[in-house]
Each structure stands twice: as structure tokens, then as C-alpha cells.
Amino acid sequence: MRKSNLALIVLTCCLGAWNGGCGDDDSGAAPSISNLTHDATTLSLGEQGLILGSFDFTDPEGDGDLMQVDITMPDGQAGVVPDTVLTGVAGLTAGTINWNLSLTPTQAGTYDFSIRMVDEQGNISNELLGSFDAQ
């Protein structure tokens, strides 16, 4: 699949709040994520926009490492999004990740995205789905 030139940068991803303790489970279980929220539903075509969001996580080992985002553009092409290192989650077994995504939509229509969390052992969480429009 050809990668698009969609101008896209994951700016920050950090711990917003937490309610867990330190993990000591060595089972290699994948993190689990839920409750995806994001504010932007429509961005302006050709202009840089910002989407603010959050999701909740549980991670038995407390070794959350990365956030992965995939974007599918209106024509079905994949947008390029680098993995984002999670900060402030070391040792936490549950919490909320606040994230933002800065991008310049290059096509009018609906953009679908998925978010996953990856731990230090490479275990990948379930994926959460969202979308926004560009016009």
C-alpha cells in the first residue's frame, strides 16, 4: 500500500490521571485500552488542525511504552504516523492517557483512525477506533 504525504505528527502523549499501583505480574499480558474520547469532529481542509483526546488503560506489568496510531484517509490510503513514546506511565497498572494529534488534512471526507498501546515487552493492546471529517 502506498503511504500518503498527509502532514501528520503526534505531538504529545502523557499520563493525565491514574488510579493504579506498581505492577509485578510477569505473565506478559498485553495492555488493555478503553473509553476513547476526542474533541475534533471536523477539521479544515489544507489547514493544520489539532485533535485532543484521551483513553483509559490497564497494564498488568506497569510497563506501558508506546502509543500507535493508524489513519486511513478518505481515499483509503494509509497516513504515516510515527509511534509515540508514552511518558509518565512507568510502573502504573491503570490510568488515563491524554494525547493530541496535529495534522493537515489533504483530502476532503472522513478520516478513520485507530489507537493502540504497546508495552515494553512488545505486547499490543486492543485497538480503539475514531474518526473525524475534513472539509
Q: Give the residue numbers spanning the domain of 26.
A: 7-134
2: in domain = no
Residue pair 63/69 in contact (Cβ under 8 Å)? The answer is: no
Would you state the pLDDT for residue 40?
Answer: 79
Q: Which range (1-5, 28-32, 77-81, 128-132) has the least confidence?
A: 1-5
Please report the pLDDT score of residue 11 as a whole number. 38
Instruction: Indicate left, alpha or beta for 122 from its phi (over 0: left) and psi (-120 to 50: alpha).
Output: left
Q: Could you tell me the three cell numbers for 76? A: 483509503
pLDDT band at 83 (very low <50, low <70, confident <90, very high): very high
Please check whether residue 49 lies inside any domain of the structure. Answer: yes
- Answer yes or no: is 89 within a domain: yes
Q: What residues contact residue 27 under an 8 Å CB cut-off, 6+ apart?
A: 60, 61
The tens digit of pLDDT for each residue in 87-111 reads 989 899 999 999 999 999 999 999 9
| Number of neighbours of residue 90 by Cβ within 10 angstroms | 13
**Distance separating alpha carbons of residues 125 and 67, to the nearest angstrom:** 10
Number of domains in the chain: 1
Q: Which of 63-67, 79-83, 91-95, 126-130 has the lowest mean pLDDT?
A: 79-83
State residue 41's pLDDT score.
85
Which CATH number characterizes residue 124's domain? Answer: 2.60.40.2550
